[in-house]
Amino acid sequence: MSDLNRFRYTMESCNHCGQCKWILPHRMSGWDFAEVCPVHHHFGFDAYSGQGLVNIVREVMEGKLERTDELADMVHTCAACGACDVNCKSVRDMEVLETIYELRHDLAQAGHLPDSCRRMAENVSAGCDPFGVPLAERFSWLPGDFRDDPDSDTVLFAGCSASRDPGPVLAAIRILQAGGVPFRLLREEERCCGGALWRSGQQETAGDLIRGNAEAFRKAGIRTVITVCGECFGAFRSIYPRFVKPGFRTVHISQVAAGLIREGKLAFRQDARPLTVTYHDPCMLGRLSEEYVPWEGEIRSYGLHVPEKHWNRGEFGVYQEPRDVLSALPGITVREMTRRVEESWCCGYWTGQADPECAAATADERMREARSTDAEAIVSCCPFCRTALSGAGDPLPVVDLAELVAGRLA
């Protein structure tokens, strides 16, 4: 059951400092590209910010604000990218994002969900992925002559995005094969990771899916899960420990590629066309991918957590390996955007997005920042980011890192 009161300390500690909206002052290079909250950037009202949403949670908890469908739509306009949370924790230890998630859970239990979120759960319950693609068609894009290792304890998890855009997964397969990495696909046993359902507040439905996936991995003897999608990576790392003790480790294909390059197992063509790129850090691969560590205890004066609490501050996401891979590719020059690593600007996409106009404006802002680097293309490690950024106004080409690597293999 939802319990807003668990986050009373966060609600009562917010002093409206505004740090949830801006990059830390000592990291600013100017006013342009200094904001970190996409919804506040778009709407300009405090309600659309980490601070405002925390205030709304308190008013709901205290009975001053009614739970409605309109409130649910407003709360799900936020992509829950976590930038507010990371920047707030640079000032004091509070759980802004967890508080927002709990409000979504509370609203879902009260029957208030945007149609986009409700459809996700209905599709999954009907034996489809969140987009309505039947599980029987999940691997319809797989080449007929593909062969994997059915005895391998490493699985390549394709993810739901592959039904719309299989290119990154096919590229990951080429990388693993070129590097001599044994792996298998789960095929009909693979289900949605459940991350989007959990993030939408439908935590009970997500929990059933998560426990089922963990049991499927256990029965198949899976010890390592390789993801191509940043969303899946973040879900396995930061959501699964809330329901099960994962008996597997999760790595992203960018981490695998970086390791293969260090070991000299990948060779690249030296005649590839020179290309200047900028790298976009996906939220769920970056600041939201730190492993969740459950905590139960007491919060005393001055925020003293007893027993001591582990804090996820976004510092230990997957940031360096994708950049190492880019640096190793012949002909590739990287120019960084101002907002990067844990302060990266969100692409605006998430499966339960309730306001497409806000999502589009968020992608447009990221594209404007990318263009400021004079790069010729944007590289990312998440298919959903590619979908969002490719639809931005006046877009640069958006390239998936796995496809870039696979396309330059010797």
Separation between Cα atoms, residue 154 and residue 225, nearest integer Å? 6
pLDDT at 352 over 80: no
Task: Give CA–CA dist 104/112, Å, rounded.
Answer: 9
pLDDT at 91: 86
Of 3.30.70, 3.40.50, 3.40.190, 3.40.630, the CATH number of 117-261 is 3.40.50
Residues 288-297: pLDDT tens digits?
Answer: 999 999 999 9
Task: Give residue 25's pLDDT.
Answer: 84
Q: What is the pLDDT of residues 278-311, one digit of tens each?
A: 999 999 999 999 999 999 999 998 899 999 999 9
pLDDT at 291: 95
Indicate the domain borders of the chain: 1-112, 117-261
> Cα(280)–Cα(382) distance, rounded to whole angstroms?
9
Q: pLDDT band at residue 351, thresholds of 50, 70 and 90?
A: confident
Residue with the two structure tokens 């940031």? 319
In the predicted structure, residue 350 carries a pLDDT above the cut 90: no
Q: Confidence band (pLDDT; 50, 70, 90) for 174?
A: very high
Report helix, strand or coil for 377: strand
Please give the Cα distance from 334 to 323 (Å, whole number): 8
Percent of the chain with pLDDT over 70: 100
pLDDT the model gives residue 172 = 98
Mean pLDDT of 216-234: 97
Q: To which H or E segment does residue 278 belong? A: strand 275-279
pLDDT of residue 5: 95
- Alpha helices per DSSP H over 8-166: 8-13, 38-43, 50-61, 69-75, 83-88, 96-109, 115-125
Q: In the prediction, which pLDDT does 339 show? A: 96
CATH 1.10.357 fits 1-112, yes or no: no
Distance CA 336, CA 183 (A): 33
Could you tell me if 201 and 1 are in contact, meaning their C-beta atoms sit under 8 angstroms apart?
no
Residues 89-129: tens digit of each pLDDT = 988 899 999 999 999 999 999 999 999 999 999 999 999 99
Average pLDDT, integer, range 227-237: 97
Task: Give the tokens for residue 328.
Answer: 């190793």
pLDDT at position 237 over 80? yes
The whole-model pTM stands at 0.96
Structure tokens at 386: 């590619």
Select from 289, 243, 303, 273 the least CA-distant residue to 376.
273
What pLDDT score was predicted for residue 96? 97
- pLDDT for 73: 95
Nearest to 389 by CA among 358, 372, 366: 366
Q: With 90 as the cut, is the pLDDT of residue 222 above it?
A: yes
pLDDT number for residue 188: 87
Q: Evaluate if residue 29 carries a pLDDT over 90.
A: no
The whole-number pLDDT of residue 10 equals 96
Task: State the chain's mean pLDDT as an integer.
Answer: 95
3 state DSSP class of 22: strand
